[in-house]
Chain A
């Protein structure tokens, strides 16, 4: 499948910084609760970064700040050298639930971000691209099907298309496949890898699964709670493209163990 829908989304060369967070902190309730403390992070073009940590480590807060949904209390947040001051077209986002709207067909759901930002006419023009995206994720023939008739995995594939339709510079993935069964989840993760590589996408994944983080990521950000902060960044030097077989290699196990021991230490604090 070599359909070039949108190559080189952000225009930056591979490896160039796309998303930068510098000394970002977030406090709630009049500075009493520190949700995030001094987080600095750089996502480079074409890289896949995961964040992992126990609940309360501030990863959802981090994701919301990166999505422009909430402002940081302190620090700098820039995407493609532009400060993030709200939701942006070049930020694509995906959630645990596909959240497709049942009154719209698959393609209509996919062009919804265009409809919201540029109106109905622009959405109509984007239909062709939506069809191509559906083909990329293996949903050819399901263009005019309503979400009620899609399985969980198919719905998430459609949600991937909806995220990609605006050609975002960064993909923010909030446990996108955690509601799926394990088999579909593994398959969708491999799909995600393929799509990200084809599109040279810069991806940022929040997950609870160490295995999932290791198999997908170039870098894994391990976070600790109270206050939420980065404990360590682990670089995964498994070759690309990753395959599910790699999950049985000693090296994979080694990285998983290392991250698990870091997370266990975090629990004591």
Chain B
């Protein structure tokens, strides 16, 4: 708090300090975890209210307690090496292979499009055209080409995740400013040197943004692939549970899946902080 002293000279009166009452928004004085817990409890409370008043049929929406019980059951199954762990492992594999494939293809195409005039003029229009298609609609094709195993799911996951990586890489390669380009020219740098020592490092923040969007897409792709192409993954468990109207199971499986998705996202973010150490945090957050 700042104190401002008035400089009016007074001999007899006692001088009053001009102290401003600092205004702080209420939310700033509440610790973040308390605020988050509050929102969580409000959500669960509303959910509980809706179910206990039977505003919705219990078949459509289970109670929070039923969902929690099922989560514990699924958790036990996963921890005791049950059949669900096998299903989860299949989905994890699809996600990892799909992401790796998307990174390899997306990065290569991104460099082609971002660095060469040929790529930008001749390849980019096709990429934009394909990107505007509803990519999920390709799932039956992938099943027809690659079968009901994990290959078709890997393909769909990679297919969805590739485009944001292409765009991120291409945008990153354009991020270097005129000064940096001119500087590299005056140093007599070759095209390859300019790409590797200047354009790529400059574009890393954009590339990682593409990777983060891709990480979200790869999860969606793997699960959609399992819905539409069968197999033995976690998506299949959800589909079966839904067809049996076992909604608590559907909810708890989705929650476990979101943990997987979050883990993948955090791995990318962690890598970004290590690799792009000079980048200022741009996350929207109060306490940084």
Report which A residues bind B (CB closer than 8 A): 67-69, 86-89, 91, 93, 95-97, 99, 101-103, 112-113, 115-117, 146, 148
Contact = CB atoms under 8 A, between A and B. Distances in A.
B182 A116 contact: no
A86 B190 CA distance: 13
Nearest to A98: B179
B188 A87 contact: yes
Given A101-B198, A116-B193, A89 B179 contact: no
Given A69-B186, A88-B188, A117-B188, A97 B179 contact: yes
Contacts of A91: 186
B183 interface: yes
B188 A112 contact: no
Interface centre among B182, B183, B189 (most CB of A within 10 A): B183
Given A87-B188, A116-B189, A116-B193, A93 B278 contact: no
Contacts of B183: 93, 95, 99
B184 interface: yes
B105 to A, nearest CB: 26
Contacts, number: 47
Contacts of A116: 184, 187-189, 193, 197
Closest 5 CB pairs of A and B: A102-B278, A99-B179, A116-B187, A87-B188, A93-B186
Nearest to A104: B201
Given A99-B179, A99-B180, A101-B198, A146 B278 contact: yes
Query: How would you classify the secondary structure of chain B's contact residues: helix, strand, loop or mixed?
Result: helix
Contacts of B187: 87, 112-113, 116-117
A96 B186 CA distance: 15
B278 A103 contact: yes
A163 B187 CA distance: 10
Contacts of B179: 95-97, 99
B235 to A, nearest CB: 40
B188 A89 contact: yes
A86 B188 contact: yes
B198 A69 contact: no
Query: How would you classify the secondary structure of chain A's contact residues: helix, strand, loop or mixed?
Result: loop
27 contacts: A69-B182, A69-B185, A69-B186, A87-B185, A87-B187, A88-B188, A89-B188, A91-B186, A93-B183, A95-B182, A97-B177, A99-B177, A101-B198, A102-B278, A103-B201, A103-B277, A103-B278, A112-B187, A116-B184, A116-B187, A116-B188, A116-B189, A116-B197, A117-B187, A117-B188, A146-B278, A148-B278
Interface in B157-187: 177, 179-180, 182-187
A4 to B, nearest CB: 25
B132 to A, nearest CB: 35
A101 B200 CA distance: 12
Interface centre among B186, B189, B193 (most CB of A within 10 A): B186
B200 to A, nearest CB: 10
A69 B189 CA distance: 12
Given A97-B179, A101-B198, A87 B278 contact: no
A126 to B, nearest CB: 13
Nearest to A159: B183
Contacts of A115: 197
Nearest to A114: B187
Nearest to B279: A102
Nearest to A115: B197
A107 to B, nearest CB: 16
Interface centre among A91, A113, A146 (most CB of B within 10 A): A113
Interface in B259-288: 277-278
